[in-house]
Amino acid sequence: MKNTLQLLTPEGFQGYELIDTGGFEKLERFGKYTLRRPEPQAVWRKSLAEREWNRLADASFSQEGSHSGQWKHSPKMEEQWYLSYRYHEMKLRFRLGMTAFKHVGIFPEQASNWNYVYDALQGKKRAKVLNLFAYTGGASLAARAAGADVIHCDSIKNVISWANANMTASGLKDIRWLVEDAFKFVRREAKRGNLYQGVILDPPAYGHGPKGEKWKLEDMIDELTHAVAQILDPKQHFLVFNSYSLGFSPLILYNLAQTHFGAQALHDAECGELFLTERSGRKLPAGIFLRFQHST
């Protein structure tokens, strides 16, 4: 691993801005709309006054249960809108919308990983890439934009439909969509002997498969990493491993990777935290990551 744990933040994401954080909330601009949402890691006080938050917010999310809630928004605000992202020749376009789980269809901190995926695939003809727990498909779009054959795997059907809409909006085609339990699929691919030149995974802390199977990250992450190691092409591959699980250290991902891939494969690995920077300069933690490339 490189000498120190890294802190990474997206650069040049012109359509997105983290305006302020604090009081367990965050205020963000996604294109033409500014949203106010809960943020459990914003334990400090806000930089801006409450009246300024109210003035700027086009929509606010109110938590009703442990996982869901509802939005209150301006009558003039559209239910769906679009946000663009560009890196070199990669041009992505995302459909955004307000969900009952406070998400809007994009995690902007992941732009750093989209860039990494796009760069890792340059010059690689017909590379096969598997995106697990793939949500609305930012990394899938980046891999397809670089020319890879992409399988996008997620257990939620309407999320797959959302990712498909993003593919069309981005002017791309031919991503293979798979509504499937990611862990079960990887184990089957290992048994079949199928290999990939790239794997991207961002498992949730808790979740459910398409048939209601329960998922708990701590219970499954070691077996999942072992299964992923079996499907990576030993001659040439990259891995992007991301997690947003409170209490998880980046070193957990590194230790898992060292256990299942070996120390030599991780010689040039990047490991650390993703973050977003607000106007005042404070940094909001946005998950942990490990990524590396290998070729012989």
Output b/e per residue, 31-51; b: 16+ Cβ within 10 A: eebbbbbebeebeeebbbeee
Tell me the C-alpha distance between 287 and 246, whole Å: 8
| Residue 288 token pair | 């942990």
The CATH number covering residue 208 comes to 3.40.50.150
Strands 149-154, 128-132: pairing is parallel
pLDDT in tens, 253-281: 999 999 999 887 788 899 999 999 999 99
Give the integer Cα–Cα distance in Å for 94 and 167.
Answer: 8
Dump pLDDT digits (tens) for 183-218.
Answer: 999 999 999 999 999 999 998 876 666 666 676 778
Between the alpha carbon of residue 109 and those of residues 158, 204, 224, the distances in Å are: 23, 16, 24
Q: How many domains does the structure of the chain reveal?
A: 1
The reply to whether 97 falls in a domain is: no
**Which amino acid is residue 164, in one-letter code?**
N
Q: Which residue range(s) make up the domain with 218?
A: 6-10+107-295
Contact 197, 124 (CB under 8 A): yes
Average pLDDT over residues 113-124: 95
Domain assignment of residue 90, yes or no? no
Q: What is the pLDDT of residue 211?
A: 67
Per the domain annotation, does 94 fall within a domain?
no
- CA gap 266, 165 in Å, rounded: 36
